[in-house]
A and B are shown apart, each in its own frame.
Chain A
Amino acid sequence: MAHDATHAHDDHGHAQPSGIMRWLTTTNHKDIGSLYMWFAGIMFLIAGTMALVIRAELFQPGLQVVDPEFFNQMTTLHGLIMVFGVIMPAWAGFANWQIPLMIGAPDMAFPRMNNWGFWLLPVAGFLLVLTLFMPGGGPAGGWTMYPPLFIQGGISYDLTIFAVHILGASSIMGSINIITTILNMRAPGMTMMKMPLFVWTWLITAYLLIATVPVLAGAVTMLLTDRNFDTHFFNAAGGGDPVMFQHIFWFFGHPEVYILILPAFGVVSQIIPTFARKPLFGYASMVYATASIAILSFIVWAHHMFTVGMPATAQLFFMYSTMLIAVPTGVKVFNWVATMWKGSMTFETPMLFAIAFVCLFTIGGFSGLVCAMTPVDIQIHDTYYVVAHFHYVLVSGALFAIIAGVYYWLPKWTGHMYDERLGKLHFWLSVISMNITFFPMHFLGLAGMPRRYADYALQFAEFNAIASVGAFLFGFSQLIFLYLIIKAIKGGQKATDQVWEGAEGLEWTVPSPAPYHTFETAPVVK
C-alpha cells in the first residue's frame, strides 16, 4: 500500500522538513508514536534511576546514601514520572502507531494537535526534573501531593503543579484526538464490534481521561491558590478540609490507575490470540467488562482513604464497590485463559510477557482485593503491602504489557525481527528479578513497615536487602531491552508483512516496516 499518487496533493509551498525539524513539526502519526515511545523510554531511565536511589538507601537500616528530605523527593518524582511520564506516554505512543493502522485510517483525526499533545510532554518532563535544581530541592510531598504538607514546600512545588497542568493539557488533547479518530475515521465495514480490542480499551481509556484529568487540574489549582493566594480550600481555619483534597485527587486517581491498565488489557488481548492461533474468547464480554471496570472506577475512590475517618456507611459503600471490580476483571482473566485453552501455542517473547502479565497482574489484583477489605486495609494502608500491590499491577501489569506490545509490534515498526534469544533472556531476568524485588514487600507491609520511609527498624532489614538486590537486577536487565530495540532498528532479519503466523488484523496487511503513509484509500473490512 505505497503512497497513492492518484490523489491530489497540495503543498502550500512547504517542503517536508528534515533533521530535527522533521520531528518538531511532524504531523505523522507514526513519527509522533515513535516520539512518545522514546520519551517514555528516557523518562523510564530517569524515574528508574530514582527508584534505584530509593532502593540503595533502603538496602540497610540507617541513613547511608541520601538524607530523608532528598529521599522523599526521589519517591515523589519517581511516582509522578513513572505514572505521567512513562506509562501514560507509552500508551499514547501505542495509540498513535496502532490505532490508525488497526482501524484503517490514514492518520489521526487532528495531526497538528497530535503533535502538540506530544511536545507538551517534554516541557512537563523538563519542569519536573528542573525542580531538583531549585532552592530546597524537588517536591517531597508524595506523588499524591496531599496538603497541608504540599502547601509547606517551596518554589519547586509550584513548578510541579504547573507541570501537572501541562501534562493534563497533553492528556486531554491526546484523548480527544483518539476518541475522534476511533469514532469518525474507521474504514468502511469496521463496525464498533469489529474493532480490535486494543482500540476498544483505548477508547474507554480516553473517556476516563477526559472525565478525570480536568478534575485533577481543578485539585492542583486549588492547591496552587491555597499555597499562594490565601484561599482556604484545604485549611480548617477557613472552613476547608485537607481531606477534601484527597477526595478530589482520588476521584481522578483511581480512574487513573485504570487508565494505566486498560490499554494493557487491550495489548494482551491482541497478543494471546495470535500466539494461541485461536480467536479471542468472549470478545463481547471483554468489551462489556472493560466498560464496567471504567464505570465502576468512578465510585470507588475513597478506598485510598479508609483511615481518614469516614463514617462507617461511606467505608462500607467504598469497600463494596471496590470489591465489585474483581468481577469484570475476573471475566477478563478467565477469557484470556480460555483463549489459550485448546489453542496451538508458541512462546515467542511477546507471548511470554503476556502470560507473565496475566499471572502476575492477578497477584496484584488479589492484593488489591486484600486492600479493599476495609478492616484489613486499616492495618496495611500506607505500608509496603500497598507498595507491593501497586508495583505488581504497574510493573508486572502495565509495564510488562508495554514491553510485550513493543516486542509484538517492533517488527512492524522497524521492518526487522528482534533478537529472539536476547528477548527470552530479557524476559526471564525481568520476571525473576521483578518478583525478587516486589514479593518481599508484601511481608514487609504486613509486618508493619510504613511506606515513604527513608529508614526503618531492624526487623525489616532482610527483606529490604533482598528487594534492593532484585531492583538493581531488574533495572540493569532493562538495558538488554534497550540494546535489542536499537539493534532491531539498525538491522536484522527482514520481517514479513504478517510477521506472526497467527496474527490477524489490518496492521498485518501493510508491509513491514509500515510505510510512512498507510490507508490513504480506506481499506474495506468485510
Chain B
Amino acid sequence: MKRSALRPLLGKTLAALSGTMISGVVWADYQFNLREPQSALARDVYDLHTLINLVCLGIFIVVFGAMFYSIWKHRKSAGHKAEHFHENTTVEIIWTIIPFFILIGMAYPATKQVLAMKDTSNPDMTVKVTGYQWKWEYDYLKDDVKFMSTLSTPRAQIQNKEAKGEHYLLEVDEPMVVPVNKKVRVLLTAGDVIHAWWVPELAVKQDAIPGFIRDAWFKSETTGTFRGQCTELCGKDHAFMPIVVKVVTQEEYDAWLAAKKQGAAMAAADNSKTFGKEELMAKGEAVYNANCAACHQANGAGIPGAFPGITGSAIATGPIDAHIDIVLNGKPGTAMAAFGNQLSEADIAAVVTYQRNGLGNSVGDVAQPVQVAGMKGGAEAAAPAGN
C-alpha cells in the first residue's frame, strides 16, 4: 500500500465531511483519525483503515448519488410519472457480484495483517502483564522485576476540585519500560475479572482473561511515551486503570532495569524485618489509599450495599488472623480480591495494621510481615484463579 499518500488524503476528506456538521470551530484541535502509528504493524492497520474508508466512501457516493438524483428528478411535484419495472436479473446479478470482489480486495491485506499480529514467535523479551481491579502488574519474566502500575492522577482532579493536568487519567506511578526496536511479547492474564490491555500507537490490544494466558506483541520503532487504557469493562474504576509504555534506548533500559532490581532487593528485605507501629501505620495508609480506598473509601466508610465499611467492621476489629486471611485470600465470588499475590508481605502487614488502628478503629495490635508470610503458605495454590 502507498501509505504516505493515502493518509493525509483521508484526513482531509473526513475533515471536509464533518466540516459541514461542526462549522466554525478550529480544526487543529480535533483528532479525527487513529493516532499516529509508531510501529510497522500499527502503520499497516492505519492504512487498511484508510483503504476501507475510501472504498466505502466511493460506494456511498455512487449509491446515494443515484438515490438523491432520483429523489430530485423523479419526484411527483416535478411531474414525473412512475414507470413500472420491478425486476432485472442482469442488474441484480451484477450488484451481487461486484461487492463480493470488492470485499476480496479488502480481505487480502487484512489476512496478511492478522497473520502478522498473531505471530508472537522469537521475541526479544517477554513481559507478563496481569490486570487487577484496577491496576496493572508488570512482571519481567527473565529479569525478576515485578511491579504494580496504578493511576497517578489525583482523585481531586477527578472530583473537579483541582485543575486537570495534561495527562489527566493517562498517567501512572510506574510505567512499563521497554527498549526501542525490540520485539516485546506480552503475556496477558488477569487476577479477578477480564481487563484489556491496549496501546493505540502500537496497535496492540489483548484481553486479559483470568486463569488463561494470552499473548500479543509489539515493536516500537521510536522512543517516547505511549498511553493507552483498559478496554474491557471491569467494574467501577474501569476508566481509571491506564497503561503507560515508555519506550527508551537500550542503554536507558538497562539502567532502569538495574535500578529496579536494586529496589526489589530492598523490598524483599522488608519482608523479614519487624516494624514499629508508626512505620506500619504510615506505610499502611499509603497502601490503603492506593489499593483499597477505591472500594472501601478513603475514610473507611465503604459504600453501603456494595462494599462494606472498614470502620467498625467485624473482621477488621476481630481476630487478626481472619483479617489477614481476607486480605491475603480475598473472598471468592465478591469483588474482594486476593491481595496475597499483589502486595508484598510487608505491605499487607502494614495495611492490616492501618485498618485496625486507623480509619476510626483502635484494636491496638499490629501485624508483622513474618506473620503474614506464615499464613501465606496455604494461600498460594488457591490464589490466582480469582472467582
Contact = CB atoms under 8 A, between A and B. Distances in A.
Chain A complexes with chain B: yes
Given A344-B81, A455-B158, A458-B168, A146 B233 contact: yes
B45 A375 contact: yes
B232 A382 contact: yes
Nearest to A466: B22
Contacts of A280: 86
Nearest to B157: A62
B322 interface: no
Given A237-B211, A309-B209, A282 B234 contact: no
B379 interface: no
A278 to B, nearest CB: 4
A64 B44 CA distance: 39
A68 B200 contact: no
B317 to A, nearest CB: 23
Assign chain B's interface to a size class: 35 or more
Given A378-B203, A462-B30, A149 B82 contact: no
Nearest to B232: A382
A151 B387 contact: yes
Given A237-B211, A279-B86, A308-B209, A154 B168 contact: no
Nearest to B160: A62
A323 B106 CA distance: 9
A241 B77 CA distance: 62
Contacts of A308: 207, 209, 214
B214 A236 contact: no
B103 A435 contact: no
B375 interface: no
Interface stretch (A102-110, A213-221, A441-449): A441-449
A440 B14 CA distance: 11
Contacts of A459: 31
Contacts of A439: 18, 21
Interface stretch (B46-54, B139-147, B247-255, B344-352): B46-54
Contact of B233 (A64, A141, A283, A362): A141
Contact of B80 (A61, A141, A344, A443): A344
A347 B75 contact: yes
B284 to A, nearest CB: 25
Nearest to A344: B82
A308 B188 CA distance: 10
A187 interface: no
A96 interface: no
A68 B239 contact: yes
B56 interface: yes
A235 interface: yes
Contact of B74 (A311, A341, A378): A341
Nearest to B295: A69
Interface stretch (A11-19, A331-339, A481-489): A331-339
Contact of B87 (A281, A320, A323): A281
A379 B231 contact: no
B29 A462 contact: yes
A180 interface: no
A290 to B, nearest CB: 14
A438 to B, nearest CB: 11
A68 B32 contact: no
Interface string B55-95: 01001100110110011001111001111111110011001
A93 B238 CA distance: 38
B236 A72 contact: yes
B306 A309 contact: no
Contact of B63 (A141, A337, A381, A446): A337
A324 B99 CA distance: 9
A428 B212 CA distance: 51
A140 interface: yes
B6 interface: no
A265 B203 CA distance: 36
A316 B108 CA distance: 11
Contacts of A62: 157-160, 164
B23 to A, nearest CB: 12
B53 A370 contact: yes
Contacts of B239: 68, 450, 453-456
Contacts of A312: 114-115, 118
A175 to B, nearest CB: 29
B371 interface: no
A359 interface: yes
B377 interface: no
B304 interface: yes
A345 B21 contact: no
Which 4 A-B residue pairs are closest in the complex by CB-CB distance?
A: A236-B211, A309-B214, A237-B385, A135-B305
7 contacts: A61-B168, A69-B303, A242-B209, A282-B86, A316-B111, A323-B103, A448-B35
